Chain A
Amino acid sequence: MTDVSAEPRVCGVCGEVARPDDNWCEACGADLAPAALEIPGDADATPAFVATGPCVSCGAPVEDITDDGWCQQCGTKQPEPGDHVVDDLGALAVVCDRGRKHGANEDAGAIGRDRDTVVLVVCDGVSSTDQSHHASQAAASVAAEVLLDGEDAIGARMVRAAAQAQNAVVEATPAASDQPPSCTFVAALAAPELDSGVGATAITVAWLGDSRAYWIDDEGARQLTRDHTWAIEQRTIGDLTEDEIASDPRAHSITRWLGADAIDVVPEIVTTTVDASGLLLVCSDGLWNYASEPNAMATLVAEHDADGPTPLELSQRLVAAANELGGHDNVTAAIARFPLVEETVTVTGSDPAALDVDSHPTTSEPTKSNGS
């Protein structure tokens, strides 16, 4: 990780680049400390909206987007930076979107790759609680980092990842919060399974709550997770009839989550071995609500996968499909396609680590980037 203090500084008077330890500008002699640290403008002012592309609605060119984020042609509000977050590592990608109905994006996704090991994490912030978007972001990022860096057995690492994600959520909790932030958690780690023959992949999935993982191949879709919801747990217990369960207001409530008020954050873990080619999909309920049964999900994915899109394109299409169907919730789709394509040097997002070539001289170093 880049040390922020080692960032090059620029003289506020003459613009000369100064060395990190310099107190005075070599070129003009100005005092560097205050000038270099000065933040122009009012720190409390809303930062100007920086348009990155044409209008999302009418396609008007980027020049027509005002610095408060509206299209000057059709008037459409352009998405906020956190409203639509994309991360692309080639063989895997994540797209996280606000959807159509919620005012904020409380979903978060993180993906990472180290040689032939890939990690996909999705956290869905519970929208009735304070600061859920911070909680879900922190949780997903921390978990992906733990999973990629760890040397320990994968199951133990998953437990550790959930525990550290839990710590991150608790840290993001405002003091004296009546509704502490909380989120779901699902993490998938896929690595070559050498014992089961060439090309086989072992997938380990750990989760808390109702975000899901699917394996999708020529034979259809397999849901790897089992939702931690009141309805599913009642069905397992078997004391109530299906009607009683379905009509209960608690039916869709999640029974396990990350958050200061969580009772137990040891995730449920499953491991499966899959053959050479297929898709690993990790998603929030904003997507699977429109294709709840594995068959429906297989159909939805097949509809958008026919022309062999990249994982990024496919994720974008699935998120767009969820929005077309109503976009009732935040939507996150993280997808890895197997066999993994060759790793390319990908600079994604604004993560300074990705640009810091010196500290990661080879591409075989872990690349981790989070989708939020």
Chain B
Amino acid sequence: MADFSADVFQNEYLPAGGDTLDAVITVTSGANVSAAGSKQLVEVIIIDVSGSMNEDRGAKIQAAKVATMAAVDTLDDGVEFAIIAGTDRAHQLYPRNGLAVADAGTRREAKDTIQRVRADGGTAIGTWLQLAAQLHRTRPDAISHSILLTDGKNQHEPHHVLQASIDACIGLFQCDCRGLGTDWNVDEMRLVADALLGTVDIIPRPEDMEAEFRALISSAMKREVANVALRLWSPKGAQMEFLKQVSPTIEDMTGKGLPVNPLTNDYPLGAWSPGESRDYHLRVKIPAGGVGDERLGARVMLAINDEAEPIALVRAIWTDDENLSTRINREVAHYTGQAELAEAIHDGLAARAGGDEESATMKLGRAVQIAHETGNVASARLLEKVVDVDDPEAGTVRLKRNVAAEDEMALDVRSTRTVRVGKQGS
């Protein structure tokens, strides 16, 4: 079994009749995570080559080519890879079919092919994903990763086709989505990334693309164990109120459980690198016990290829000592705040887009206040591009009249990035 450990942060004391347990679980991978299986990486790069990529006198398509060639150069020998060019349908650019094994020859061939690409046509992201799924499906045990780059909205297929295509990809590969410029749709890309355990970000300028692609490939190549799942057992009568990843970003996992048995569910975590650490916030409702009773609210296990190992216990002890039961755990409080921050940014931007300035001012003000309190400097800086801050402690802000579209989108896509406890003021 692979090398994982966990810490649980919770107040296990509940008052008489109390039935709701909150816990933050930090899962950390050790140096030997790969012990469990294959380290083979399969990388499928999906590039938007629709007609809009010709904008800026060809700067976008040129930058996309440079970035993709850089990504190919970054691949270690032995990585299996393919490149898909996407328009209103999907074209496999390299190799002609199947996957290529990276070496000096295939890298050169791939780059030659990329050089010759011309941008033309529409955008149907669902078809791109379907082709990527076909390729990834041939390597079920590999660490399967894709990069999806688009500069526009999914205009040339109905939404339900995109949704169905995403659903068909779940569990086959992980996908990091990048939007170039400001004409793409954050919610669309988030839909893909959430389902496929990836990230979303904006690449405002074409010239930033190369560095971003190199970074994405490097981090994919660090992954050493695929198909990791958080396996949660809860007692009879328990109800999972929510399960969220809360660090490094907030991702709701509540609906992603796959039943193992009536009391146990697997929540897919994707692939892990050695020495990684992620935090999860769990809230579970369990049947209340009597004062003095001690029960397990959840047993946290780590499952890889159906081998599971217990890593943490979430406990409940009922007490009539209010000094114990009213304490709020520091980590739980912190991440509750980070989740509220992300929600306030999201709601504030939505209100602003809908013309409800009063509500937008209030929500974004609250966001500024939490970012300030919890030392989330990155979010605070992004907020300052959208609002003028009069008093960060009180959360008093004014909406800026002129906001760059890229600043608003950056705030939106990065609103789910959290900071950890103890990083305040850094």
Contacts and interface: CB of A to CB of B under 8 A. Distances in A.
A100 interface: yes
A40 to B, nearest CB: 20
Contacts of B233: 72
Interface in A318-334: 323, 326-327
Interface in B232-254: 233-238
Contacts of B296: 70-71, 75-77
A35 interface: no
Interface residues of B, number: 23
A73 interface: yes
Contacts of B237: 74
A321 to B, nearest CB: 15
A101 interface: yes
A97 to B, nearest CB: 11
Interface in B179-229: none
A259 interface: no
A101 B236 contact: no
Interface residues of A, number: 17
Interface stretch (B1-9, B55-63, B94-102, B283-291): B283-291
Contacts of B310: 68
A90 to B, nearest CB: 31
A57 B236 CA distance: 12
Interface string A7-46: 0000000000000000000000000000000000000000
A77 B292 contact: no
Contacts of A75: 234-235, 238, 286, 295-297, 316
Nearest to B314: A75
Given A75-B235, A75-B286, A70 B299 contact: yes
B294 A76 contact: yes
Contact of B292 (A58, A73, A101): A101
Interface string A324-352: 00110000000000000000000000000
Contact of B294 (A77, A326, A327): A77
A74 B292 contact: no
A76 B293 contact: yes
Contacts, number: 50
Nearest to B294: A77
Interface string A89-105: 00000000001110000
B292 A76 contact: no
B236 A73 contact: yes
A74 B294 contact: no
Contacts of A327: 292
B263 A100 contact: no
Interface string B312-355: 01011000000000000000000000000000000000000000
Contacts of A99: 292
A76 B286 CA distance: 11
A32 B272 CA distance: 47
A208 to B, nearest CB: 29
Nearest to A327: B292
A100 B294 contact: no
Interface in A208-254: none
Contact of B295 (A77, A101, A323): A77
Contacts of A326: 291
A101 B313 CA distance: 21
A68 B296 CA distance: 11
Interface string A61-79: 0000000101111111100
A100 B291 contact: yes
Contacts of B238: 75
Nearest to B297: A75
A299 B367 CA distance: 64
Contacts of B316: 75
A100 B299 CA distance: 23
Interface of A: 57-58, 68, 70-77, 99-101, 323, 326-327
6 shortest A-B CB distances, which residue pairs? A100-B292, A75-B235, A75-B296, A77-B294, A75-B295, A70-B296
Given A58-B236, A71-B235, A99-B292, 14 more contacts: A70-B299, A73-B235, A74-B235, A75-B234, A75-B295, A75-B296, A76-B295, A76-B296, A77-B293, A100-B290, A100-B293, A101-B291, A323-B292, A327-B292
